[in-house]
Amino acid sequence: MLRLRMTRTEIELYLDSLSHADQLELLRLLTERLQAPALAKKQPGKLSELAGLGAEIWEGIDPAEYVRGERASWD
């Protein structure tokens, strides 16, 4: 009978007692279970959510002056 709490060593010993097919099925079930939360979170965001991102980097910088400086560095 399978207890609710097992040490890692106990789990490894139990896995050794399973058939190869049962081990693969268990791996499939574990993979699905572990991937489910990650897949649920990965929904495409809206481009509008990026508005203002990194604004603090440009604080106090004049855009026209910045462009002039960049263009001057090309020469």
C-beta contacts of 1-10 below 8 A and 24+ residues apart: none
Residue whose C-alpha is closest to residue 14's, from 27, 28, 2, 30:
2
Query: In this predicted model, what pLDDT tens digit does every residue of 11-44 receive, in sequence order?
Result: 899 999 999 999 999 999 999 888 877 766 667 7
For the chain, give the mean pLDDT: 87
Q: How confident is the model at residue 4 (pLDDT cuts 50, 70, 90)?
A: confident
Query: What pTM was estimated for this model as a whole?
Result: 0.43
